Chain A
């Protein structure tokens, strides 16, 4: 039981890391909390549902389509909203209100478009077998989703730490004005980050029917809270810290689901509370030397 709990916690931890990493990327670059993050996960989930139901499209194919569509959507949303916000007196506060409003609009439109009913995808769409890891059997779909999540996280890390645009992205995260004074177009870098952040949220949404269960248009609110807890645990503004946050969240959730299932919904709030009390900068938060 302990081995199963730990391994399933790690599998789900990878998925939760994928779910939250986009939120952290956007916060890191723009210093704005995208309160509609969970709603983009919901849109990805419905894209997977309709693609599978109408065209029998494999969710892995849907993931690729959704990824590119949401990069474009994110870039467009950035240029539509953020430059105006940045000209405001208190852009961070205003962004909270604006993205909350966007969340409500997306949910309302989704209810109109998809109805209020809960939907689910045949769980065998990502494989019907059982995969054995260290002697423990797991649903094939969990292992596929965890593997894709791991690959996505590795690709995000390569983007941030190896590519020229990624180094520019980290420069903007660290010191916006210093990056601009090196000739980096902060708006262009931020638009890419917004696009990639929303695309990562949407592909997490594609896999949510296999990891979270049935989907509905209002599921986004809880997912935003969960994602926010994960990035606070790792380190707000540090996308790689999200992996630590996701793992801790996954392990805690699986532990509670195994031993105290009725308490499991408290996990994100409890972890958020504990981390904010003990290490407000997150587990990977660090300071720079000043002298």
Chain B
């Protein structure tokens, strides 16, 4: 499998505050990679740096065989990365407008086709096109966030805590939805605290204090005593 996205010596942060330190990371094409880490570990900063919302302090980012660390977010998104933030939607826009925003760079005809595909995939959204995203429940908002991120037909999908604020029922639905995307060979990097998402993972990375402390498969993770205790609560 070729590399979809990789970083080499990546450091990043907000202004003078450094959050990420010297990250070497690889996600292969069509791979689902779960990035585990507690609150404040640096997962969101990492995803934002990958998509271009935060300019790295140093290091390289290679995406689909192109060096992109100096590129703007819109340029990276146009080339095939899509990012769903923890919020996922623009609250004051309607469902239809949020989806249109997700396909902002597509030609009109392609956007309409993709919009219809999203409505077929998410019939709940189709029934409430004019509803403001801010008035949706947490679960509906996440579904809209995924649909919005898929509007640009991304090769690489970055998801920031897709289970945050969701009831167990919605978490199960979310996992099934992402399993469907995995079968469509979309490369996914899922930043999560919920270990249930490991059932989707081809590989796992663990982030602690802005550094990657583990990279491997799920079996390796469960054999590491410290990590097993930290993430599964078992000795």
Contact = CB atoms under 8 A, between A and B. Distances in A.
A186 to B, nearest CB: 9
Interface in A183-209: 183-185
B213 interface: no
Interface stretch (A77-85, A169-177, A215-223): A169-177
A161 B101 CA distance: 13
Interface string B41-79: 000000010010100000000000000000011100110
Interface residues of B, number: 33
B78 A289 contact: no
Nearest to B160: A181
A167 interface: yes
Contacts of B92: 170, 173-175, 288
Nearest to B84: A181
B101 A179 contact: yes
Contacts of A112: none
Closest 5 CB pairs of A and B: A288-B134, A183-B77, A174-B92, A288-B91, A185-B74
29 contacts: A89-B15, A164-B104, A167-B93, A167-B97, A167-B101, A170-B90, A170-B92, A171-B97, A175-B91, A177-B53, A178-B88, A178-B90, A179-B90, A180-B73, A181-B53, A181-B84, A182-B101, A182-B148, A183-B74, A183-B104, A183-B152, A184-B101, A185-B72, A288-B91, A288-B132, A288-B134, A289-B136, A291-B137, A291-B138
> How big is chain A's contact interface, by range?
20 to 34
A170 B85 contact: no
B102 interface: yes
A181 B31 CA distance: 22
Contacts of A289: 134-136
A170 B137 CA distance: 22
A183 B78 contact: yes
Contacts of B88: 178
B232 interface: no
Given A185-B74, A288-B91, A177 B85 contact: yes
B93 A181 contact: no
A23 interface: no
Given A182-B148, A183-B78, A175 B105 contact: no
A288 B135 contact: yes
A40 B51 CA distance: 38
